[in-house]
Amino acid sequence: MRILILGGDGYLGWPQSLYLSSKGHDVTIFDNLSRRHFDLERGFNSLIPIQTLHERVSVWNEVSGRQIQVCIGDTMDYEALASVFRDVLPEAVIHFAEQRSAPFSMIDRKHAVFTQTNNVVGTLNVLYAIKEFAPDCHLVKLGTMGEYGTPNIDIEEGFIEIHHKGRSDILPYPKQPGSFYHLSKTHDSHNITFCCKIWGLRATDLNQGVVYGVETGETTQDARLATRFDYDQIYGTALNRFCAQAAVGYPLSVYGKGQQIRGYINLLDTIRCIELAIASPPREGEYRVFNQITEQFSLIELAEMVVRHSQRFGLEAEVKYLPNPRVEAEQHYYNAAHTRLIELGLEPHLLNGSVLEALIRLAINYRDQIDRNLIVPTVNWRMTKNEITQADNSRSSINFSRE
Amino acid sequence: MRILILGGDGYLGWPQSLYLSSKGHDVTIFDNLSRRHFDLERGFNSLIPIQTLHERVSVWNEVSGRQIQVCIGDTMDYEALASVFRDVLPEAVIHFAEQRSAPFSMIDRKHAVFTQTNNVVGTLNVLYAIKEFAPDCHLVKLGTMGEYGTPNIDIEEGFIEIHHKGRSDILPYPKQPGSFYHLSKTHDSHNITFCCKIWGLRATDLNQGVVYGVETGETTQDARLATRFDYDQIYGTALNRFCAQAAVGYPLSVYGKGQQIRGYINLLDTIRCIELAIASPPREGEYRVFNQITEQFSLIELAEMVVRHSQRFGLEAEVKYLPNPRVEAEQHYYNAAHTRLIELGLEPHLLNGSVLEALIRLAINYRDQIDRNLIVPTVNWRMTKNEITQADNSRSSINFSRE
């Protein structure tokens, strides 16, 4: 299948591109390298060293004999997007090309505006490009479970049947997103729904949980195929941060009461989910939503798991509760449906001891590169202007020299 | 009260400004004149001649002795917005400053992107400006009933109590907006909800129906205080279009089956609703929604009312069904709650014969100015590129000479 992967150079986009290429699909990556640009600007870096996109693709060709096409471009640039659509005539488009950090979107007004403009307009451009150049193409869009917030009823997959005053209807599930980033994904969902309705587009919106893990069957074939591992306050997930903190003997920072429950998924399952979605496309005009998670945990459960498994490495991690920089319910009901991908054939890889230990081992291997300054949360949802810590200069120059 | 009116030069913003000024409030208008710019660009014009903003304000001063401050600026320009906030320190901000036409947003990609960027980013800027310079200020935001779409259950005012699998919660009412414009308002609603939550802002989101009428107690004090009357396919409502068509002996164009039901409100009630909202502000952190309508009609009911009342003027209007340029349900359930403004004291002015006849009389008075080309719908929701008819040149030059 001809597959266009927007944002194919990112944490998820890259292993997804490799996986689909390994399955014989004809993969083209379209990426503006913005994630790398942010690192360069701030002195951040992936804890695992990663290669440039061109190098990665050439290593993959060496290792597998397969060719991934690369096009450097921005979804905000419609001419560039139209041109890659005309060249590729994709049968499926996987859209990872969004600013994907909640804290980034909460830094200040400019970051909020950038996030919403980039994500909403980028996705509008993708929708127009599909309609104009590949109207039968299946859009697979990465959404987030964070669109739902934490309602006091079960979370369903995109839609809910509501009985009200003697009548009923199946309506879009109400959204209560918790950052300007999560809001941008909610806006996208509404825009995509509408374009399926008016233009007959086919779309799968994958409301993904927090992804963990870095290794796939493809990335492990050569160290130069590795995908990124972020532990900083802007791009690092809580789990990655906990592993990094455990590795350097720093208390595990739990925000607020730690009873915040979220859905999680292994990277291996994420890439498989997208393959499953592509293999069974929606019908013309259909907008469907899958909740792309396999388990749910509270923050404190995760922290305690990391404490427990760190002991295997002789580490004595401890948990420290920080005032919550976010505005969110810290104790709430949470039960999110996630059966549709299972029905399509997903066999989940759960967050067990060996997965956790692999992550902790990784953090230990690279512990000299961990910059403690980058973990401290400085982006407070209650403020309109926040400073982000810069990487310690000497460290960031070491990091730079590795690329 | 110090009141800042964003978009105070528009169809609604202007009579609103006059009304609140007449009540002794200290009114400042902030407007980028974009609605007038569109007219200049396309050769469109208000059927009723309107004066420039500076002229209007000076006539108002002459007539009433009251002063309205004017600041020409764009909500997309944060420095300009911040500056007016710092100068005025508003106690209430009324936000009309959005691109407000559904067909405009559906012309092509650039108009869709402009509408969403302008409305979403403009509103984000307003939210930041409130938080930074006037955090106690009450935001009164014009939303639209079109955010709800046409669900098969009763439409409530912003929120709905959902019972689901033995649990319940009060959640944001699900949104099914029907154009890129309506979508932009839905995005705004989500963004505003969030800012109330994280920053403790106070906001009233007025989901307004279709407004009709042009005369208020203030605009009639001098012909130079008139507000606009649009009948064209881009900015004209169906009712205005029907009146213009009846006046020139052109069939009344009903889109599709004509069973599309919408909520309506008289201009006199609109300006009163906003006064009522301001008089009873929400508490800190509260986001509340009022459905700002007083009645609901189907399109065909409206057309038939215009046919009936045109007879008084010796006109023999007839109805013509056109293929629907929009993608919408043409036969559907519709029952929208609208009690909260009544509870605050609204006494509705309904769409009766004398109101209709006043509108038809107006169209007859200016019938020489009506350009039939501008009424024909050329913006089709199913297409990604549409041409808008330009005004007939000779007519538009006549129109220009009136200003």
The rounded percent of chain A whose pLDDT value lies above 90 is: 95
pTM summary value: 0.96
pLDDT band, very low/low/confident/very high, at B266 (cuts 50, 70, 90): very high
Determine whether the interchain pair A175/B194 forms a contact, defined as Cβ–Cβ distance below 8 Å. Answer: no
CB contact under 8 A, A382 and B78: no
Cross-chain Cβ contact B112/A131 below 8 Å: no
Please tell me the distance from the alpha carbon of residue B365 to that of residue B363, in angstroms, as a whole number. 5
**Contact state of A171 with B176 under an 8 Å Cβ cutoff:** yes
Cα dihedral B71, B75, B80, B84 in deg (nearest 10): 50
Q: In this predicted structure, what is the pLDDT of residue A402?
A: 31
CA distance B206 to B221: 28
- Quick one: average pLDDT of B247-271? 97
Min Cα separation A135/chain B (Å): 12
Amino acid letter, residue B389: T
Q: Give, in order, the Cα–Cα distances in Å from B355 to each of B281, B311, B349, B361.
A: 31, 15, 9, 10
The CA distance from A162 to the nearest CA of chain B, in Å, is 7
Strands (E), A130-249: 138-144, 159-164, 167-172, 202-208, 210-212
- Facing B153 at nearest CB: one of A128, A168, A382: A168
Rounded distance between C-alpha atoms, residue B344 and residue B280, angstroms:
8
List the catalytic residue out of B19, B148, B181, B334: B181
CB contact under 8 A, B132 and A173: no
Is B255 one of the catalytic residues? no
Active site residues of A: 144, 181, 185
Question: Tens digits of per-residue pLDDT, A112-165?
Answer: 999 999 999 999 999 999 999 999 999 999 999 999 999 999 999 999 999 999
Measure CB to CB from residue B174 to each of A151, A172, A194 and give the nearest one.
A172
- Residue in chain B nearest A381 by alpha carbon: B198
Residue B40 Cα, gap to closest chain A Cα (Å): 27
Q: What is the pLDDT of residues A278-321, one digit of tens each?
A: 999 999 999 999 999 999 999 999 999 999 999 999 999 999 99
Closest alpha carbon within chain B to A171: B174
* pLDDT-derived band at A186, boundaries 50, 70, 90: very high
Pairing of strands A167-172, A159-164: antiparallel
Q: What is the pLDDT of residues B91-113, one digit of tens each?
A: 999 999 999 999 999 999 999 99
In this structure, which amino acid lies at residue A36?
A: R
Task: Measure in Å the smallest separation between the Cα of B87 and chain A Cα atoms.
Answer: 20
Q: Which residues of B touch A174 (CB under 8 A)?
A: 160, 162, 171-174
B131/A124 Cβ within 8 A: no
Nearest chain A residue to B334 by CA: give it: A167
Per-residue model confidence as pLDDT tens digits over A32-41: 999 999 999 8
B290 DSSP β-pair partners: B206
Q: Is B197 a catalytic residue?
A: no
Tell me the sheet residues that pair with A138.
Answer: A92, A202
Residue from A108, A113, A130 to probe the interface with B (highest B Cβ count within 10 Å):
A113
Specify the pLDDT at position B42: 86
What B387-392 contacts at long range (C-beta under 8 Å, 24+ apart), as own/partner pairs, is B388/B42, B388/B107, B388/B233, B388/B234, B389/B233, B390/B42, B390/B43, B391/B42, B391/B43, B391/B44, B391/B45, B392/B43
Residue from B115, B123, B185, B231 carrying the catalytic annotation: B185
CB atoms within 10 A of CB B60: 25
pLDDT tops 70 at residue B394? no
pLDDT, tens digit, for every residue of A225-250? Answer: 999 999 999 999 999 999 999 999 99
Of B125, B135, B28, B12, nearest in space to B72 by CA: B28
A contact test, residue of B126, B153, B289, B386 with most A CBs within 10 A: B153
Closest residue in chain A to residue B156, using alpha carbons only: A164
The encoded tokens of residue A335 equal 């039960």
**A171, A333, A382: residue with CB nearest B174:** A171
Measured in whole angstroms, the distance separating CA A347 from the mean position of its chain's CA atoms is 20
Whether the pLDDT of residue A399 is over 50: the answer is no
Q: Is the pLDDT of residue A401 over 70?
A: no
Residue A185 near residue A154, CB atoms below 8 Å: no
Judged by CB atoms closer than 8 Å, whether chains meet at B183 and A194 is answered as yes
Closest residue in B to A132 (Cα–Cα): B384
Name the one residue in this structure whose structure tokens are 């800190």: B284
Helix/strand/coil for B50: coil
Express each pLDDT in B23-45 by its tens digit. 999 999 999 999 999 999 888 89
Return the residue matching tokens 């402009």: B114
The region of weakest confidence among A280-289, B100-109, B330-339, B383-392 is B383-392
Quote the pLDDT of residue A392: 60
**Whole-angstrom Cα distance, residue A369 to residue A90?**
40
Under the banding of pLDDT at 50, 70 and 90, the label for residue B388 is: confident
Q: How far is CA A160 from CA A3, A190, A349, B2, B21, in A?
A: 31, 15, 28, 43, 46
pLDDT band (50, 70, 90) for residue B392:
low
Q: Are A391 and A43 in contact (CB under 8 A)?
A: yes
ipTM exceeds 0.90: yes
Going by C-alpha positions, the residue among B92, B111, B109 that lies closest to residue B100 is: B111
Give the angle A82-A85-A86 at the CA atoms, nearest 5°: 85
With CA atoms as reference, the chain B residue closest to A191 would be: B183
Taking residues B74-94, report their average pLDDT. 98
CB contact under 8 A, B190 and A168: no
Measured CA to CA, the distance from residue A55 to residue A63 in angstroms comes to 12
Check CB contact under 8 Å for A116 and B112. no
Mean pLDDT for all residues in chain A: 95
Q: By percentage, how much of chain A surpasses pLDDT 70?
A: 97
Instruction: Select from A151, A194, A382 the Cβ nearest to the Cβ of B198.
Output: A382
Chain A residue with Cα closest to B184: A187
Among candidates A153, A197, A381 on the partner chain, residue whose Cβ is nearest the Cβ of B198: A381
Q: Residue B398 pLDDT > 60, yes or no?
A: no
Distance from CA of B22 to the nearest CA of A (A): 36
Please tell me the distance in Å from A108's CA to the nearest CA on chain B. 9
Measure the CA–CA gap between B209 and B269, rounded to whole angstroms.
Answer: 11
- Cα nearest neighbour of B168 on chain A: A153
Nearest CB among B174, B183, B187 relative to A174 is that of B174
Tokens in use for A342?
């299972």
Q: How is residue B192 written in tokens? A: 């505003």
Q: Which of B75, B115, B123, B144 is the catalytic position?
A: B144
Between residues A388 and A76, the one the model is more confident about = A76
In the block, tokens 């200069």 appear at: A393
Which one of B128, B177, B190 has the shortest CB-CB distance to A177?
B190
The answer to whether the Cβ–Cβ distance between A198 and B384 falls below 8 Å is no
pLDDT at residue B397 in the model:
39
Helix segments in A297-339, DSSP class H? 299-310
Span B345-375, pLDDT tens digits: 999 999 999 999 999 999 999 999 999 999 9
Q: Does the pLDDT value for residue B196 go beyond 50?
A: yes
Which residues of A fall within a CB distance of 8 Å from B180? 124, 191, 194
Of A128, A183, A186, the CB nearest to B384: A128
Chain B hits for A118, CB-CB cut-off 8 Å, are none
**Predicted confidence (pLDDT) per residue in A313-355, tens digit:** 999 999 999 999 999 999 999 999 999 999 999 999 999 999 9
